[in-house]
Amino acid sequence: MEIPQPQLIEKPYPPADDDCCGGGACCPCVWDYYYAQRKLWNAQRAALLEQAE
Residue 47, C-beta contacts closer than 8 angstroms, at least 6 positions apart: 6
Is this model's pTM higher than 0.95 or not?
no
Q: Cα(29)–Cα(20) distance, rounded to whole angstroms?
A: 7
Q: Cα(20)–Cα(40) distance, rounded to whole angstroms?
A: 21
Residues of the chain with pLDDT under 70: 1-6
Res 2: pLDDT? 59
